[in-house]
Structure 1
Amino acid sequence: MMKGYLTVFLSLSLSILSGVILTLTALAIRNGQRLRMECIADISMNSALAEFEKTLHDRYGLFYVDLSYQEAQPSLQNMERRLQYYLSENIALFQNSDLWGNLALKNVVVNDVQTAADGQGGSMKNQAVQYIEDYGIHREETEILSSGDSILGTGQEDAMGAWSALMEVIAGMELPLIQNDKGEWEEVPLSNPADRAYGFTGSDVLFLVGAPIDRVPVGKILKEDYLSGRDSSDRSNLQRQKEADTGQFIAYLLEMMGNYRDGKEDGLLKYQLEYIAEGKESDYENLQAVVEKLAGIRFAVNAEAVFSDSDLVSEAAGLAEGLQAVSLNPAFLKPVTESILYACAYLEALSEVKVLLEGGSVSLRKESWVIRPAIIAEAEIQGGQNVSSGISYEQYLAGMISALPEKERNYRAMDIMEMDIRMLTGNTGFAMDCCVERFRAQIQAAGSVRGNYLIDRTYGYY
């Protein structure tokens, strides 16, 4: 009787134990398949990132996946297809050879990406600064940006406006009369030495400073073809909050892009830094705008200094007193003297711009003068003083770029990148706002033991 009870007990126990073992085995298989699927997802997403745009990396040191994949139209579907390919290939490596069952890929969705243009171009800027830090690149041109000295100055419009207003006052004054040999009264011309210099203010500054206009590249673009001319807005929730240093970013631009002093010969635009500073559609227009701005900056500096130089004031007054109209009407003395000083400041500014374009440097604050009142009637643009420890053309460019709003600066830099990559690769669909740094994917797979797996991963270069 006891033997019968024991047999029934063992039979029931064995059934329960077998069920427990089978349940644990099924759980182990599921967990193993999940782990295997997670590893496959990690490997496949890294493989997708390995397909970065090589020309962009070689040219600018940036890591991005181009969603066009050398095709005409960039899209997330292109990235999904590439990720699906890698997932399928990695899953196939284990099919029919795994004791723990097979996996089947059900669905792949790339539902969020961070592009170079997201965060007002912050993604691109962060990578650019990372490049500068990794390679230990230092550009002396950017040192002035953190020194507290403003190389752009202030009051350019005020200085030119004050000179224009002064010349209008002089033009409105009544000229003295003198009796000629026939006994007729006629006006005595003022013959203001500053008139010719003032007439230069409406001329092309490039021509005035003797820039080799015939050698300026003729490249021209359409702004709407590039990022800053498109309606591009943030599309991602994956943005990083790190704030890159603007000075180091400008060092990156100086390192990577061309300018008037060192044009990028294989670029669509050769004067790329001038484009970032001014955003116009041709090298000539950008250089012209930069040079006009330089002339305005230097004129404001000189106009502030010229009235404090007692020698110049004395020379200008003496020159004004020698004019017949001034001697007949002393009311002209003060405004004419001031107009002569403004003319000195402007011609000096043009001579300084000439020095900058030729690769020299000028003093941040005016200390000595090349143009004197006695020679302003000739209105010749002479070569200015090259100061060894002064401010260079590239430093002024860096200052102009630094003064731009963040988005404008970053987007124009990416305009240049788009121009270069399209021209070098022939891929007209290349767009920086379709270049991916980080992406999020949801991957669905099924296992052989009623296992359904949803893998949600975010991967990126940084």
Structure 2
Amino acid sequence: MKKCRGSMTITMCLIFSILLSLLLSGIQLARTQAGRIQAMHAADTGIYSIFAQYDKDLLDSYDLFYLDAGYGGSQVNPSFIVRQMESFMKPTLETSLTRCQIQSCAITGYVLSTDENARSFMGQVSRAVKNQLGTQAISSLRDFLEQTDSTLKNQEEQKEQGLPDMEFDVTEAEEHPPAFTETNNPIAILKRLRELGILGLVLPSDRQVSQKEISLTDTLSHRTLQKGMGTLQSQNSDSGKLLMQAYVMDKLGNYITEKDGHALSYEAEYIIGGRASDEENLKATVHRLIAIREAANCVYLYTDPQKREEAAMTAAALCSLLLIPEGMAIAEALIIAGWAYAESLLDVRQLMLGGSVPAIKSTESWQLNLSQIGQIFTLLQSDTIRSHSGLNYQNYLHLLLYSSSEQTQAFRCMDMIEQNIRTLPKRSSFYMDSCIESLETETIFTGPQQKTWSAVRTYGYDM
């Protein structure tokens, strides 16, 4: 076999050296870029993994997306979040030859559920209600509440203006007054009626009042709240008290429809009353219902000629018997007010039984004749539902909620949610103001040739 000798010129050596340098530089550049991409991917993985730990109890029961940043404690734990984020990023960084490492990781901002007067919470409530009810149902509810609320306010104004003048012939009543005793004297009976315990008069005889209570000092609306940090803000929301009260009526219980396992049984009544116990909240709600019905019933009595004449005749008879004819106007006003109050008790009892009462009374829907005033205590013991026409108990709760501010509703609603979550196993230290909606982090990575990259990531459930 013939042997051949080979050689390489200087020119070829130089060209080969240049090509090799370019190849190595390209490999190094690709490795650097791969490291940068890997670092950015690790930052995404870390923050997404953090928010994948959303509070399942809040989502399942209340349609709320939050990260419980207390992790079993009462305070936000930023260091634990950082450690978790680093542990989530490390597997991604270990999957290649780039040898990227985490130099530092820090939280630069976060938004809590209670920040900016519960703006985050109200925004999530708004989205939850819209998804469930739809815009048409919300619009119908708004029209109903605005119209009914306007009617009730007009009735209250008319009540404050007092009795309109009407002429009646009361000569016969003055000349031949009936004999009044403790059992048929309307003013004495109505005075006694106002002195009795209200719940015992209006609640069904077979229904026990819940004895549940909470400590107000430990509720979100009564304690100093934790604050978010940084410049992050909650997303704008068009939430209003209409959406908030629709959420309250759907997610929380009330006297008619209680929710099992909750800290209080009458939660909507807590939103209205803000008291520590079910009994106190129910009593406060009943008093407000009676006030609404009393104004409406007074206005009806003012405008019904037959009932006005009956009240005037009774007043004239009383004043003639007591030899104080100049007190007839006062006596008539007292009888009208007491009559309206007694009718209101019957109205509220109907509501508590599950019946309905119209916002504006008519001759057909009026229950109590003045001649029956001595039987009022017997009538208040009846558990018969007389009507399903008009507004029911839940409708009137809507009206009461409509008169309160959105912020009050939001914070008291969070009180109830917080207390209810605490009743669950291993959740006794849950705090709503430890719940994060949005988070911003900055992570510094080192890569090949000691390259450093900064990855700022912002993520939240409102995005």
Which category describes the TM-score, using the shorter chain as reference length? 0.7 to 0.9
Give the equivalent residue in structure 2 for 1:172.
Answer: none
> What aligned pairs does 1:47-446 form with structure 2 within 5 A after superposition?
47-71=49-73, 73-92=75-94, 94=95, 98-99=96-97, 101-136=98-133, 143-147=140-144, 148-151=146-149, 153-154=152-153, 193-212=186-205, 215-232=208-225, 234-236=227-229, 237-323=232-318, 325=320, 328-368=323-363, 369-380=366-377, 381-382=379-380, 386-446=386-446
Structure 2 distance, partners of 1:40, 1:461, is 20
Structure 2 distance, partners of 1:14, 1:269, is 83
Query: Structure 2: 5+ residue runs without aligned partners?
Result: 1-8, 163-180
Structure 1 residue 61, shift from structure 2 partner: 2.2
Structure 1 residue 32, shift from structure 2 partner: 1.9
Structure 1 residue 439, shift from structure 2 partner: 0.8
TM-score (norm 1): 0.83
Label 1:142 to 1:270 Cα distance change in 2 as closer, same or farther (>3 A): farther
Label 1:296 to 1:207 Cα distance change in 2 as closer, same or farther (>3 A): same
Root mean square deviation, CA, Å: 3.3
Superimposed CA distance per residue, residues 97-142 of structure 1 (whole angstroms, 9 cap, x where no aligned partner): x34x211112111221122212322222222332333345799899
Structure 2 distance, partners of 1:419, 1:222, is 10
Q: What's the secondary structure of 2:261's corresponding residue?
A: coil
Q: What's the secondary structure of 2:153's corresponding residue?
A: coil
Superimposed CA distance per residue, residues 297-316 of structure 1 (whole angstroms, 9 cap, x where no aligned partner): 11111112211110101111
Q: Is the 8 A contact 2:203 2:352 kept in 1?
A: no
Label 1:297 to 1:324 Cα distance change in 2 as closer, same or farther (>3 A): closer
Of all paired residues, the percent bearing the same amino acid is 26
TM-score (norm 2): 0.82
Q: What's the secondary structure of 2:444's corresponding residue?
A: strand
Q: Is the 8 A contact 2:75 2:434 kept in 1?
A: no
Structure 2 distance, partners of 1:21, 1:401, is 73
Query: Structure 1: 5+ residue runs without aligned partners?
Result: 1-6, 164-187
Label 1:142 to 1:278 Cα distance change in 2 as closer, same or farther (>3 A): farther
Structure 2 distance, partners of 1:158, 1:201, is 22
Label 1:54 to 1:239 Cα distance change in 2 as closer, same or farther (>3 A): same
Aligned residues: 428
Q: Is the 8 A contact 1:40 1:91 kept in 2?
A: yes
Give the equivalent residue in structure 1 for 2:457.
Answer: 457
Letter in 2 for 1:445: F
Structure 1 residue 30, shift from structure 2 partner: 2.3
Label 1:444 to 1:202 Cα distance change in 2 as closer, same or farther (>3 A): farther
Letter in 2 for 1:154: K
Structure 2 distance, partners of 1:228, 1:371, is 42
Superimposed CA distance per residue, residues 202-226 of structure 1 (whole angstroms, 9 cap, x where no aligned partner): 4432122244597112111111212
Label 1:84 to 1:386 Cα distance change in 2 as closer, same or farther (>3 A): farther
Structure 2 distance, partners of 1:400, 1:324, is 39
Structure 2 distance, partners of 1:9, 1:402, is 90
> What aligned pairs does 1:19-38 form with structure 2 within 5 A after superposition?
22-38=24-40
Structure 2 distance, partners of 1:139, 1:364, is 24
Q: What's the secondary structure of 1:154's corresponding residue?
A: helix
